[in-house]
Amino acid sequence: MKPEKEKLISIGDIVLLATVILLCVVVTVLLVTSREDGLEVEIVSDGEVVKTMELKKDAEYEVVTDRGTNLVVIEDGQVTVKEADCPDKVCVNHKPISMTGETIICLPHKLVIEIVE
């Protein structure tokens, strides 16, 4: 092996990194600004809508399947998963959602909670 000075990072790498980050930021800004306050939340278990609730009314709904349970809570127009017995707790740790198109997902339980108009 020639002791050639192979760089750890090149201009090309930096351009690549900057492009990816910039693209993500721009698309995120476009996406977020296009979002509106949602009216309803749809709970989709295994690809099927099992419950639709209005955001303006505080409520709780427990999704129970043979995969496990998730407690969906609406409070002050925002939706969270308060409790779940999934292994990763990704759904429980998700920030509250309220804008159209926002989702909370629980992959182990095949669950999607989505804000709709």
Partner 1 sequence: MSENKVNSVSQNKITALSGVFIALAMILSYLENLIPINVAVPGVKLGLANLVTIVSLFKLGLKPTIVISIGRIVLSGVLFGNVTVIIYSLAGAFLSILVMYIVKKIKIFTVTGVSICGAVAHNFGQIIVAALILENANIMYYMLVLAAIGALAGTAIGILSGIILKNIRF
Task: Lay out the site mask for partner 1 across 14-53 (x = CB under 8 A, - = otherwise).
Answer: --xx--xx-xxx-xx--x------------x-xx------
The neighbouring-strand residues paired with 65 are 68
Query: What are the structure tokens assigned to 104, written together?
Result: 């909370």
Number of residues engaging Zn ion in binding (CB under 5 A):
4
Q: Which does 84 bind (CB under 5 to 8 A by kind): partner 1, Zn ion, none?
A: Zn ion
In terms of CB distance, is 13 or 60 closer to Zn ion? 60
Rounded CA-CA distance 60/57 in Å is 10
Per DSSP, the residues of 36-96 read: -B-SEEEEEETTEEEEEEETTS-EEEEEEETTEEEEEEEETTEEEEEEE--SS-HHHHSPP
Q: Which parts of this chain interact with partner 1 (CB under 8 A)?
A: 1-2, 6-10, 12-13, 16-17, 20-21, 23-25, 27-28, 31, 44, 46-47, 87-88, 90, 93-95, 101, 103-105, 107-108, 110-112, 114
